[in-house]
Structure 1
């Protein structure tokens, strides 16, 4: 890798890590904690690549990109940000940043993208116009640093203003409707009308009126597979008239929400194929909450804060309470998480929600709720790596043998990276993520007796001790509760 990289980040540790990594890769590096200094370097003609944070003491990194582009049209900019929301991804794309990565980022991934930016920088073109600043909506619950959510954010940003119909697929409660509204609220159609069409509005007049309200704007179609066949036929007729009529320049953009497998709806006759292909210009999938467990804590805090803004008591989650929330499977996805946070805000005895209060409400709502390590005392935080949660705690009814379930979740992990390979070290990471819950559950089952635990696992005691030390698993001898 060859070139000069300009780094702007107010975190000294990040500046040091990036400087060392890029220097080892053969680059020259200038690092600063000031956007003002960054712009001075750019104006002086320094640098072949910029890596900038968003929230800086003297401004916003994304807002600085137009100034950089004006000074140096071919200078690529990579944005890194701890603000892992769809708004950040959209704004970075609209500003024509070369790429966007959420914090905490994977260093090898950032190095790969830096190499690509340095290699392609002569091919970048100057944007025709500077994008209008976008106001972040603090009520928008599209938060996510999980790879699946970042893939979704990037795809939304890429097709936001494209003249394409979009299907947003996913499980109930995953946030499909919120994503659908984002296509209107953040697009260049946001000044025009928006209308929602559901199976409760199947008549010809209802469809006509929805089209008129959405003229030049956006028509949101909720679950078209639930429409009666006659209603689907009527909708096809209106779509054809909008696309071919004299007013086609003001035809509404079609954004539809469906279940996780819209093609299955077609195959099983619930959704007409000719309607599906008119709606599926591009299909985006909103991942279920169980596939983005690391996003549960920030989502929970966000939803508690929003509940407080709506008049409910201000609450926070204790460490033990957050561990239980994070470990819960949430079959109802974000909708269920929001319901849980509102109930806790209403019923908690104090300002800090306790683990026992979380457990009581979860037990009321789902008597057979699955928690990783549910034999543990609720006073202890639940240590749960992401893959072990997906493999161990979320079996579907009638699940296939364990090896097939593991294969399914590993395949999903690979799929989340698209055309890219996962970060190096995959074998050790997966082995540790499966090994930790296995050892913890075995210790629980044997009451902390290491000799019995080693015998149960079929390994010798020294091997067990070594693994417990490597994984920093604390062992407490206790009577097994029946």
Structure 2
């Protein structure tokens, strides 16, 4: 993060376009805002644009008028369709003097998407004057305790009672993989502030909240079986390593199976429009076994017409 901050400081007052990449919840929008707020453009507008803002004959020109000489940020530009991408290209090609600083955020790999034909090459190179890669929270484990303490302190300023995490609770928070990154950590701490009856928050209270949240790291790549297996192995090895010489809490087998089974069954049910017979056949399990799993995992089943 310190290296990232140094790069931010160097590009802050340049006119280069900035592409900010990273997983959801890492703080990409906050980085864009910081670049604007600490730059020479801080007194000018900061405009965040979605794909719909580019629609209509006057959409692009209206964005430029709103941003004036400030900052214009295309939020999650990797999700923009080809028409919206083309409008951005034409917008960028018409910028003159007093143009806004252009920034974009993306949680997808735009280079890989471009190679697959899903993102325009001309837009990719126009947006990537400088690329800032925001690391995931699990890549900066030492930041987790400091961030948790920061959110506890901020909660006190917002009117919550003073709370602190005991050593075991902090150890568990540090060991968790945080697939939702800083945003998930902040929301978890806020829940602890609301639900914890005692001044000291213990391990059991943290376990109660994290037990209902994903424990696996986001899966990347093409989704092949070997990638999934490697991701699971990496997560488990890191989980064991973070406990030092001690073993993780008992029940690891059940917790990991639950994290895999739940999304698997939910996605299979969605793919079969909630038809449990078809879902059981797709999964290759007995229908009664599927019903039992649905009950145990508290999965909500909604029947609907599948549009193909």
Report the TM-score when normalising by structure 1.
0.46
CA contact (8 A) 2:137 2:182 kept: yes
2:46 & 2:210 partners in 1: Cα distance? 37
Q: Secondary structure at the match of 1:283?
A: strand
Match of 1:221 in 2: 74
Cα 1:202–1:311 change in 2 (3 A) is farther
Match of 2:205 in 1: 357
Do residues 303 (structure 1) and 134 (structure 2) align? no
Do residues 175 (structure 1) and 37 (structure 2) align? no
Higher Cα radius of gyration: 1
Cα 1:355–1:436 change in 2 (3 A) is closer
1:347 & 1:231 partners in 2: Cα distance? 44
CA positional deviation for 1:439: 4.7
Task: Quote the RMSD (CA, aligned, Å).
Answer: 2.9
1:119-160 CA distance string (max 9 Å, x none)? xxxxxxxxxxxxxxxxxxxxxxxxxxxxxx111111111111
Give the 5 Å matches for 1:211-290. 211-242=64-95, 248-290=96-138
Q: Secondary structure at the match of 1:301?
A: helix
2:242 & 2:198 partners in 1: Cα distance? 34
Do residues 440 (structure 1) and 293 (structure 2) align? no
Pairs aligned (count): 239
Q: Secondary structure at the match of 2:73?
A: strand
Cα 1:305–1:441 change in 2 (3 A) is closer
CA contact (8 A) 2:18 2:103 kept: yes
Structure of greater relative contact order (alpha carbons < 8 Å, 6+ residues apart):
2
CA positional deviation for 1:262: 1.9
1:314-333 CA distance string (max 9 Å, x none)? 32211111111111100000
Cα 1:293–1:396 change in 2 (3 A) is farther
Q: Secondary structure at the match of 2:102?
A: strand
Cα 1:300–1:401 change in 2 (3 A) is closer
CA positional deviation for 1:396: 6.9
Task: Structure 2: state its 5+ residue gaps.
Answer: 218-225, 251-308
Task: Structure 1: state its 5+ residue gaps.
Answer: 1-148, 243-247, 372-394, 410-433, 445-482
Q: Secondary structure at the match of 2:19?
A: strand
2:156 & 2:171 partners in 1: Cα distance? 22
Give the 5 Å matches for 1:103-142. none
Match of 1:202 in 2: 54
Cα 1:435–1:310 change in 2 (3 A) is closer
2:210 & 2:231 partners in 1: Cα distance? 27
1:436-473 CA distance string (max 9 Å, x none)? 9575349x9xxxxxxxxxxxxxxxxxxxxxxxxxxxxx
Q: Secondary structure at the match of 1:235?
A: helix
CA positional deviation for 1:202: 3.3
CA contact (8 A) 1:296 1:326 kept: yes
CA positional deviation for 1:272: 0.9
1:291 to 139, 148, 151: 139
CA positional deviation for 1:307: 2.6
CA contact (8 A) 1:260 1:285 kept: no
CA contact (8 A) 2:179 2:216 kept: no
CA positional deviation for 1:281: 0.2
Match of 2:188 in 1: 340
Cα 1:202–1:326 change in 2 (3 A) is same
CA positional deviation for 1:226: 1.1
Match of 2:164 in 1: 316
Q: Secondary structure at the match of 1:397?
A: helix
1:304 & 1:435 partners in 2: Cα distance? 27
CA contact (8 A) 1:166 1:282 kept: yes
Match of 2:43 in 1: 191
Match of 1:414 in 2: none
Cα 1:304–1:257 change in 2 (3 A) is same
Q: Secondary structure at the match of 1:357?
A: helix
Q: Secondary structure at the match of 1:163?
A: coil
CA contact (8 A) 2:53 2:63 kept: no
